[in-house]
């Protein structure tokens, strides 16, 4: 097997006395899609933020494409290699969609405006909202905003993508359009780590599923195994709850 | 009241020339002080919300010094005290400048205003969702770039109304510069009165200058507010479209 794109090794993080991550290890290989689920407060989002150095952890280390996050001298460069998509989109409301996407390629990567715009249009087309390029995010529907945010992350041509509950702030119709884009990305071979409660998406797209609770990885299994024969009691309990909801 | 108005006086020399010069001095003093204050205010405002304790302490100290001493006292401090505390070569150079009172007033007014602006900017920065900052960082922008391109432009749009009234305050505060010998429009009217004993006409000029200018500024700023209004955020007086 080739070297994993993301390797998390024994990461531990605490906020004062609260243990947010407790000895978490995980690797994501090139082209893999791993879904992380678990109750709120279980450390899923914190784990994602550790991977691109947005959160400092006290124990262990994370390697992104062979570069250690803890010892990283050039975090901006490392972060460019890992796209991130947020629950609340976090598009910059005072810029048009096009400006949102071209900002980092121009300022952080040093592309010319022309190159950056070509890239932006390419990825806007890929997520299906090329016609929204000149609008401000406030004029877009939630689903369109999230797709624009995905395009913003893709425009840096990252080696991997992190999704932090990308559909939790959307209503059902819009969830479908965002999941469609994500499915398309995964099929295209993008390496993805997705925090979500969309079990349908997990079942269909993910290679492996991770279940976290109270800062630990309770279960980590290939997708079929995870749904058919979950080993941990806590996983079964959680799956029953959220599958019942559907 | 038995007072014979002589408005024509204002159009006669030397008064007319004085008025033009006074108005212009007020204008460029206010503008220069404003630009400097805005730059300083943004930097200090950002320092006050950074993660670094040292930078925050610097920001806080700056704000508390410059907003807690009355402006008129600060002007005297800048004129009489500060030059003596600086290296000799510098104070020689400084004192040989033309228009020392003018530059002193500019510095005094802009530092005082920047402390007030820094507080406004700080409150706007705190109103911006922290996710914006994370999003910027996650795309590989540096902290400085995130502030420069995302956070500060966003914050400035939120506080345009507050900036308007700060500018009006700077503009009117320039009148205090007369106490250290700057001949701006208020000092000019006092001079006209002293020469001609025409106080009503003279002070009318000053008042009209201030009112007319502030109204123009208000019109300009409300245009700016519309121009830079963030689409999709709730607009004044109307619900979201």
**A51 reaches B (C-beta below 8 A):** no
Tens of pLDDT, residues B45-103 = 999 999 899 999 999 999 999 999 999 999 999 988 888 888 888 888 888 888 889 99
For B66, which DSSP code? H
- Report if residue B127 sits inside a domain: yes
Mark whether A220 and A186 lie in a shared domain: yes
The residues, any chain, with a CB within 8 Å of residue B127's CB and separated by 6 or more, are B155, B158
Mark whether A77 and A171 lie in a shared domain: yes
Q: Which two tokens stand for residue B19?
A: 């008025």
How many angstroms separate the CA of residue B140 from the nearest CA in chain A? 4
- Report if residue B1 sits inside a domain: no
Mark whether A95 and A55 lie in a shared domain: no
Contact A108 B145 (CB under 8 A): yes
How many angstroms separate the CA of residue A45 from the nearest CA in chain B? 13
- Report if residue B128 sits inside a domain: yes
| Cα A139 to chain centroid, rounded | 24
Q: What is the DSSP string of B25-42?
A: HHHHHHHHHHHHHHHHHH
* Chain A partners within 8 Å of B138 (Cβ): 52, 54, 79, 82-84, 153
Mark whether A131 and A242 lie in a shared domain: no
How many angstroms separate the CA of residue A136 from the nearest CA in chain B? 6
Mark whether A164 and A153 lie in a shared domain: no
**A152 reaches B (C-beta below 8 A):** yes
Mark whether A152 and A166 lie in a shared domain: no
pTM confidence score: 0.86
The residues, any chain, with a CB within 8 Å of residue A177's CB and separated by 6 or more, are A128, A143, A147
Q: Give, in degrees to the nearest 5, the angle at Cα A169 between A167 and A170.
A: 65
Phi, psi for A226 (deg, rounded to 5):
-60, -45
Number of separate domains in chain B: 1
Tens of pLDDT, residues A125-168 = 999 999 999 999 999 999 999 999 999 999 999 999 999 999 99
First-residue to last-residue Cα distance in chain A: 37
- Report if residue B232 sits inside a domain: no
**A54 reaches B (C-beta below 8 A):** yes
Give residue A138's domain range.
90-157
Of the three residues A103, A127, A157, the one that is the final residue of a domain is: A157
Residue B238 pLDDT? 46
- Report if residue B107 sits inside a domain: yes
Q: What is the CATH number of the domain that holds A221?
A: 3.40.50.300
Number of separate domains in chain A: 2
Q: What is the CATH number of the domain that holds B69?
A: 1.10.3720.10
Q: Which two tokens stand for residue A157?
A: 């041509």
Partner residue opposite B232 with nearest CB, options A52, A54, A136:
A136
Mark whether A196 and A207 lie in a shared domain: yes
Mark whether A117 and A176 lie in a shared domain: no
The residues, any chain, with a CB within 8 Å of residue B8's CB and separated by 6 or more, are none
Give residue B88's domain range.
13-227
**A232 reaches B (C-beta below 8 A):** no
Of the three residues A99, A134, A157, the one that is the final residue of a domain is: A157
* Structural contact between residues A60 and A4, judged by C-beta atoms closer than 8 angstroms: no
């Amino acid at each position: 097997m080739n070297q994993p794109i993301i390797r998390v090794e024994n990461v531990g993080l605490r906020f004062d006395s609260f243990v947010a991550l407790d000895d978490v290890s995980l690797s994501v290989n090139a082209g893999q899609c791993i879904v992380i689920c678990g109750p709120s407060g279980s450390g899923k989002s914190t784990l994602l933020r550790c991977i691109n150095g947005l959160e400092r952890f006290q124990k262990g280390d994370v390697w992104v494409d062979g570069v250690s996050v803890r010892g990283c001298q050039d975090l901006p460069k490392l972060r460019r290699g890992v796209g991130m998509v947020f629950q609340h989109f976090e598009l910059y409301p005072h810029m048009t969609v096009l400006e949102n996407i071209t900002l980092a390629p121009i300022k952080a990567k040093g592309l010319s405006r022309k190159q950056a715009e070509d890239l932006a249009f390419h990825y806007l087309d890929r997520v299906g909202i090329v016609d929204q390029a000149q609008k401000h995010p406030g004029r877009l529907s939630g689903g369109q905003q999230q797709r624009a945010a995905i395009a913003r992350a893709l425009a840096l041509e990252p080696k991997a993508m992190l999704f932090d509950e990308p559909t939790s702030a959307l209503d059902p119709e819009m969830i479908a359009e965002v999941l469609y884009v994500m499915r398309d990305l995964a099929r295209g071979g993008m390496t993805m780590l997705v925090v979500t409660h969309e079990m349908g998406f997990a079942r269909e797209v993910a290679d492996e599923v991770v279940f976290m609770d109270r800062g630990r990885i309770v279960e980590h299994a290939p997708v079929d195994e995870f749904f058919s024969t979950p080993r941990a009691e806590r996983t079964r309990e959680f799956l029953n709850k959220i599958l019942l909801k559907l | 009241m038995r007072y014979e108005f002589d408005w024509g006086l204002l159009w006669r020399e030397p008064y007319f020339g004085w008025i033009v010069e006074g108005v212009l001095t007020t204008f460029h003093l206010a503008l220069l002080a404003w630009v400097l204050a805005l730059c300083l205010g943004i930097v200090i405002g950002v320092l006050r919300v950074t993660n670094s304790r040292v930078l925050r302490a610097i920001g806080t100290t700056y704000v508390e010094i410059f907003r807690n001493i009355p402006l008129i006292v600060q002007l005297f401090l800048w004129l009489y005290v500060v030059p003596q505390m600086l290296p000799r070569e510098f104070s020689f150079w400084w004192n040989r400048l033309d228009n020392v009172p003018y530059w002193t007033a500019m510095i005094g007014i802009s530092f005082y205003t920047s402390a007030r602006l820094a507080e406004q900017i700080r409150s706007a920065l705190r109103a911006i969702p922290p996710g914006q900052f994370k999003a910027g960082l996650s795309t590989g922008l540096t902290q400085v770039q995130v502030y420069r391109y995302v956070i500060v432009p966003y914050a400035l749009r939120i506080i345009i109304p507050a900036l308007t009234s700060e500018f009006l305050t700077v503009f009117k505060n320039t009148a205090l510069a007369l106490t250290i010998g700057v001949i701006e429009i208020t000092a000019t009217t006092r001079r006209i009165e002293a020469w001609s004993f025409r106080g009503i006409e003279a002070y009318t000029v000053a008042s009209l200058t201030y009112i007319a200018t502030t109204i123009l500024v208000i019109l300009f700023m409300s245009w700016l507010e519309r121009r830079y209004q963030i689409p999709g955020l709730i607009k004044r007086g109307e619900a979201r479209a």
